[in-house]
Amino acid sequence: MTETERAADAIRRRIRTIPDFPKPGIQFRDITTLLLDAEGLRLAVEQMVASVEGPVDLVAGIEARGFVFAPAVALALGAGVLLVRKDGKLPGATIAEDYALEYGTDRITIHADACAPGARVLLVDDLIATGGTARAAVRLLRKAGATITQAAFVVDLPDLGGADALRGDGIAVHALVDYAGH
C-alpha cells in the first residue's frame, strides 16, 4: 500500500456515514468526525496540498465547509484565501453566478476586487457531488479573470457526476476519498 493509499484509508476511517439524511436513501458523508481528529485533519490538508500542481496565488473556499480547508491549504502553499459566499453575505461590490438546483436556482458571489486578472486559483471544498456549486464557482472565478485549472475535495461521490463535469470544464479534480452511491 502506498503512502497516499494509507492516508486515504486513514481519512476514510474518520468520516462518518449517516444513513437517510437529509432524506431517505441518502448516505450523508459527515466530515465533522474528520475535523474533530487532529491527525485526520492534518492528513486531509497534507493530501490536498500534495495534489496541487504548480504555483497557486489564491485558494478559493466554497461556503461553508470549504472555508475550513482553504486557509490551511493556502498557508501551506504560500497563497491567499478567496471566499466564495452565498448571495447576500458579502458587503461591498460583488460579482455573482447563478446555478441550477433540483427545484430552482441559487447564487454565489465573490468580492469584485478579490481576484486580480490572471491570478492562479485552486478551488477547495469538502465534497463534490453533482458539481453544481463547484462549476458555478469555476465560472465565477473565470468571470473575475482567474486562471483556474484545478480543484481539491475531501470526498467525491462519483456516481453523481460532479467531478466528471468539472473535468469537462477543464479542471483537474483531486479527491482524497470516494464513495459509491449518493
Taking the C-alpha atoms of residue 142 and residue 115, their distance in angstroms, rounded to an integer, is 10
Residue 42 appears among annotated catalytic residues: no
With CA atoms as reference, report the closest residue to 133 among 85, 175, 95.
85
How are beta strands 104-111 and 27-30 bridged, if at all?
unpaired
Taking the C-alpha atoms of residue 42 and residue 74, their distance in angstroms, rounded to an integer, is 14
CA 111, 98, 133, 137 torsion-angle sign: negative
Task: Choose the catalytic residue: 12, 46, 63, 65.
Answer: 65
Is the CB of residue 58 less than 8 Å from the CB of residue 80? yes
The backbone region for 48, taken as left when phi is positive above 0, alpha when psi lies in -120 to 50, beta otherwise, is: alpha
Residue 65 appears among annotated catalytic residues: yes
Q: Which residues are catalytic?
A: 65, 102
